[in-house]
Structure 1
Amino acid sequence: MNLSRRQSLAALGALLTLPSWAHAQTPALRLGPARPFDWGWLIDHAKARAGQPYSEPPRPAPELVEQIDYDAHGKLRLKPDYALWGQEGSVYPITFVHMGRYFPKSIRMHKVESGQAQEVLYDTDYFTVPADHPAQGLPPESSAFAGFWVQESRRSGDWRQREPWVTFVGASYFRSVGALGQVGLSARGIALNVGDPGPEEFPDFTQFWFTPTVREGDPQIVYALLEGPSLTGAYRFVMSRQRGVVMEVEKRLFIRNDIARLGIAPLTSMFWYGEYGEQRLMDWRPEVHDSDGLALWTGAGERIWRPLNNPRRPITSSFQDRDPLGYGLSQRDRDYDHYLDGVNYHHRPTCWIEPLGSWGSGAVQLVELPTDDEIHDNIVAYWMPSEPARAGSSLTYRYRLHWDEFEPFYPVVELARCVATRTGRGGEAGKPRPPGVVKFAIEFDGASLADIPWGARPEVVVTASRGEVSLTRSDPVWYTPRWLASFDLTVSGDEPVELRCYMELEGKTLTENWHYQYHPAT
C-alpha cells in the first residue's frame, strides 16, 4: 500500500477550506462534441479496452506538475462560476480538482444529458492561477483535471461556502462525509496485491461521466472507467445525500492479467495508536486514528469486532466467509477527550460495506502496516473472492457503502458491541505484579447488558491461540449500562496471539465477538 496516500489527502484537505467567492457574470465551460452514452456503452467500452495494450493516463509536463506542492496546490481553486451546474441544471454542482505533485495524472470529465455525453475541455481560466505559479507553464493543449468534488445542494444555501460531500481524486480513491459532517477514511474502486512482497498496483479512474440530479433528494449518479495494467472496469455510483451518505456501486471488471490478490470494495484508513498497544507513549494525545476497528457481520450471522493494530511488520489477517452480510472500518470512540485534537478525530466517519446479491466464498482481509506518524494511511480492508482472477475473465459486483456515525444496524442489533479495548500489567491489585503477564479489559455496551438482573454476573468466555488465560471476570461499569470483561494472558515469545472474547449469561450470548491479534512486546 502507498503510504504517501495520507500526504495526498492532506493536500486535498487544504482545498476544503473554502474562501468567500466573488460573484461575476456567468462564463461557460468549454465542451466537446456530443456523443451517445449509457451504462451499456460503458460496459462494452471497458471490455474492449481490456483487449488492448494498457496505456497510462497522460502526465503532462511532469517537471512542472512536480513543482505544484502542498502550498502551490492550495492556490489552485476552481472559480465557482465554472462549476458544472453551479447555476442551473442540477441540484448538486460539480467542481474540479487541479493536478499537482500528489495527483499527477490527467483525468477526462464528461457532462451527460438526454443520453448524450460532452467532454469538459480543460482551460487554465477555470482556476485561480497566480502569475508566478508553475501551472502557468502547462502546455495549452494539455488537460489538468485530476478529480472532482460533489458540492452540497445549491437549493439549500450557498454551496460556495460549504464543503463538498463527495470527493474523487487520485488513482481510484474516493471518500465522503459521514453523519457528523467530517471526512476521514477513503474507499477505492479496487485493490490489487495489497500487502504482497511485490509492488502493489494502483489502477486509475481515467474518465468520469456526470448526470444531472433534477429533484432535491434524488441521488447523484456518476459513471467511471477504471484502467490498470491488470484489469479494466465500468463503474456506476448512485450517491444519496442523507444524514450521512449512501452510495450504491455496481462494477463490471474485465481481467487483463492474472491477479494474485484481488480486493473488492476496499477501504483505506489510518491507525497510529489507541488505548492499547506499545505506541501509546509516542505522542501527547491519548489516541490518534481515523478508524479504531474492523466490524464484520458474517454470512452465518456472527458479529465480530477486531480492534486495529499498528504492527512492527506488515500483517494480513483473513476472515473466511461465504456471502457476507457486511463489513466496515469503524470509528466507534466518539469522545473528544480521548483525542484532544482540533482535527476532529472523534467525528471521523464509519464506512460500512453492504454486499448486494451473492458474493460466494472468500474472505474479508485486513492488512495492517507499520507507521510512525498520522500522515500515513496504513490500514486496508477488502473482500477477496476464493476464485482466482484469471486473464480473460469478467466479474460483476454490487454493494452499498454507508458513510455514517456507526454501522447502519446500530443500535438495532440485540448484541452489545465493544466500545473500548485496554491493556495493562497483569495480576491482582495489592499483590506483586508477575512479569510477562498482560491484562485485557474490554468494555461492552448494549441493551442486552442493561437487562442483566441485579446480582447476576455474565460469564466471560475467552480463547487464545497460545499462552495461558487466567483471572477472567466481569464487572458492571457503574452508572452506565456497560459491562467490563477482563482477563490475564501469560505468553512467551514474540509471535502474535489470536484472542477471542465474548460475554454470555445462562447460555445466551450477550455481546458480539471481540477478536484481537496481540503482539507481545520484545
Structure 2
Amino acid sequence: MTRRPAALRAALLLIASWCLLTASAHAAWGFDQVAELARARAAAPYQPPNTSMPAELAALDYDGLRDIRFRPARAFWRDIGSPFETMFFHRGRYHPEPVRIHEVDPQGTVRTVPWRAADYDYGANKLHTQGWPDLGHAGFRVHYPLNTQAYKDELVVFLGASYFRALGAGQQYGLSARALAIDTVGGSGPEEFPRFTDFWLERPAPGAKQLVVHALLDSPRAAGAYRFTITPGQQTTMEVRARLFLRATDRPVATLGIAPLTSMFLYGENQPRAGDFRPEVHDSDGLMMASASGEWLWRPLQNPRQLLVNSFSFDGLRGFGLMQRDRAFASYEDTEARYDRRPSAWVRPIGDWGPGRVELVQLATPDETHDNIVAYWVPARLPAPGEPFDYAYELAWQGDVQQRPPAGWAVQSRRGLGYHRVEEAAAMAGLVQYVVDFAGPALDALAPDAAVQPVASADANGRIEQQLAWFNPGTRTWRMVIRMRPVDPDRPVELRAFLQHGNDIVSETWTNIVLPDPGL
C-alpha cells in the first residue's frame, strides 16, 4: 500500500468530517456525531480560523461594536412558544473568529443558522452591509424567564474562545467558565486557548425546562466534543459531558486544565486597600475544594505582586469551585457592580476522575477590569494523542444558597495585629496574625463555653507562636486567631488550620499562603 503524504491525509480527513457535518441534515444528531468530528479534527493538522472580515467592520472600536445589537424581535425560537430564546453576537475586532451555529429539530435533523445583517441594529454606525458575505457569528446568548414570567432574562452566554457563563435567579454576571485550559502554567510556550468552532442547539419544546447545546472544540493541540444540559433555576446547573482528543505535535501538552474557572480578585478583607470607599472588590473570595476522603479545604484568594501558582493534590475529588461566600452588600458598597450578587461556581465530578490536582493560578491585577484568578483540575495521567478522554461534571451557578462543607466553614479571614503597647513593638516585629471566623451546623450545636481548639500548622518556614479559639457573641460564630512568625521573611509560608471539639473536626481546613509582601 502506498502511504499518502501527510498533507493529503489531512485534507481527506477534513473532507470526511465536512461530509459528516453536511450529511447530518438527513440523520439524527447527537454527542457521538460531534465526538466523531472532534476525532477527525485531532487526527489532522490544526487549521487556524479565517478571521477576515469587511474592512469597515474591522475598523470599529469598542464603542462602535457596542452599538451593534441583536434585534430582540428576531430572537431565535421567539415564534415557537418556547420559554428559551436565543440571540447572537456580531463579529468584530475583539471577537474576530467565526462560529458556526446549527439548530437540531426534535427529529434530529440539523440546519445551519446563517448570519443576517437584518437581524442587527447597527446603531450610529454607517456600514454598507448589503455586499457582505455570511460572516458567521461571534457567539450567542440564551434568554429565559429566570426571575419573573413577565421578562426573559439573560441566562447563559457563550462568547470568545471556549468561555461561557451563566446566572441563577437574582444573580448578576461575575466569574466565567471555560471548556478547557491548556498550559495556563507549566508549558514550554504561551497558554493555548481552545475555541468552540461549532454549536448545535437542540430546539426546545413549549414548556421545556432544559436546553441542550452541543459544541465542537478545536485548538493547535486538542479537539473535543461537549454536551451542555442547562437547567435554569435559583441555582442554574449545567451537566457537561466531554470527550477530548490530543493532537500528536512536537510540543506535548504539559498542563491539561479540566473544568477551568476564571474570576477576579482585586482586594478584600484579607488584603484591604486604602483610598477606595468600597471595603472589598472581587467576583470570588476563595477556592473551595472537597476531597474524596471527606476533607474540605478553603483557600482565600489574593492579588499577588507576581504570578502565584498553588497545587492541591487529591487521590480523588468530590468537587471544587471559586466561591463568592460574602453576600452582604455592606461588604462591597457598590451599587453598580453589585459584587454581592455575583455567582459562585461549583464543579461536581460525575463519575470517578481519579487522582490529580486542583491548580490555583493568581496573577497581579491593577484594577477590577481584568480577570486574574484561574482554577482547574489536572488529571494525573494525560491521554495519549488520539486516545479518547471522557469525563463529565455538573457545574452549578449558585447565589445565596450555595455549596457548603457539612460541619463548618470560614466566613471571613482578616490579617493584622490590632492594638499593642509601644514597648511591645520590637517583639511584634515580623509577626503575622490571622483572625478567622467560622460558622456552620457543627459549631451552632456547641455551647458558647465549649472547649473548641484550633489545630494549626505551618511549613518549615513558619513557626506558630499562638493559636486560640473562642465563641464570638457579636456574630454567634467561632473566632480563631493564629500568630505565626516566618523563619525567612523573604519566603512564603503555607498555613493550615481547622477547629476541633473533642475528637470531632468541626470545620473545614482553612489554608493560606503568607506572602512576603501582602500589599499592592
Q: TM-score, normalised by structure 2?
A: 0.88
Does the alignment pair 1:292 with 2:282? no
| Structure 1 unaligned regions, length at least 5 | 1-30
Correspondences of 1:248-397 after superposition (within 5 Å): 248-257=239-248, 258-277=252-271, 280-281=273-274, 283-342=276-335, 343-397=337-391
1:57 deviates by 2.4
Paired AA for residue 72 in structure 2: P
In structure 1, the partner of 2:499 is: 503
Of stretches 146-155 and 353-362 in structure 1, the one that deviates more from structure 2 is: 146-155
CA distance, structure 1, for counterparts of residue 26 and residue 150 of structure 2: 33
CA distance, structure 1, for counterparts of residue 443 and residue 147 of structure 2: 45
Contact 2:147 2:153 in 1 (8 A): no
Q: 1:217 to 1:295 in 2, by over 3 A?
A: farther
CA distance, structure 2, for counterparts of residue 349 and residue 131 of structure 1: 34
In structure 1, the partner of 2:174 is: 184
Q: 1:286 to 1:241 in 2, by over 3 A?
A: same
Contact 2:199 2:214 in 1 (8 A): yes
In structure 2, the partner of 1:521 is: 517
Paired AA for residue 209 in structure 2: D
Contact 2:227 2:242 in 1 (8 A): yes
1:70 deviates by 2.5
Correspondences of 1:16-31 after superposition (within 5 Å): none
1:282 deviates by 6.1
Q: 1:138 to 1:388 in 2, by over 3 A?
A: farther
Of stretches 138-147 and 468-477 in structure 1, the one that deviates more from structure 2 is: 138-147
CA distance, structure 2, for counterparts of residue 145 and residue 120 of structure 1: 9
Q: 1:145 to 1:306 in 2, by over 3 A?
A: same
Correspondences of 1:15-164 after superposition (within 5 Å): 34-36=25-27, 37-61=29-53, 63-88=55-80, 90-113=82-105, 114-130=107-123, 132-133=125-126, 136=128, 140-153=132-145, 157-159=149-151, 162-164=152-154
Paired AA for residue 117 in structure 2: T
CA distance, structure 1, for counterparts of residue 352 and residue 131 of structure 2: 48
CA distance, structure 1, for counterparts of residue 50 and residue 500 of structure 2: 58
CA distance, structure 2, for counterparts of residue 93 and residue 106 of structure 1: 21
Q: 1:294 to 1:407 in 2, by over 3 A?
A: farther
1:121 deviates by 1.1
CA distance, structure 2, for counterparts of residue 441 and residue 459 of structure 1: 14
Paired AA for residue 516 in structure 1: N
| Structure 2 unaligned regions, length at least 5 | 1-21
Paired AA for residue 231 in structure 2: S
Q: 1:393 to 1:50 in 2, by over 3 A?
A: same
Correspondences of 1:164-183 after superposition (within 5 Å): 164-183=154-173
Deviation string, structure 1 residues 290-341 (Cα, Å, up to 9, x no partner): 0000000101110000101111211211111123000000000111111111
Contact 1:178 1:350 in 2 (8 A): no
Instruction: Kindly report the root-mean-square deviation, in angstroms, between the aligned alpha carbons of the 2 structures.
Output: 2.4
1:505 deviates by 1.3
Contact 1:365 1:383 in 2 (8 A): yes
Does the alignment pair 1:450 with 2:450? no
Local SS of the residue matching 1:260: coil
Paired AA for residue 415 in structure 1: A
Contact 2:263 2:374 in 1 (8 A): yes
In structure 2, the partner of 1:23 is: none
Deviation string, structure 1 residues 186-218 (Cα, Å, up to 9, x no partner): 000100001236200011101111112225352
Correspondences of 1:444-483 after superposition (within 5 Å): 444-465=438-459, 466-483=461-478
Aligned residues, how many?
A: 486
CA distance, structure 2, for counterparts of residue 407 and residue 327 of structure 1: 16
1:115 deviates by 1.0
Of stretches 241-250 and 194-203 in structure 1, the one that deviates more from structure 2 is: 194-203
Q: 1:320 to 1:133 in 2, by over 3 A?
A: farther
Contact 1:42 1:225 in 2 (8 A): yes
CA distance, structure 1, for counterparts of residue 146 and residue 73 of structure 2: 13
In structure 2, the partner of 1:193 is: 183
CA distance, structure 2, for counterparts of residue 445 and residue 64 of structure 1: 57
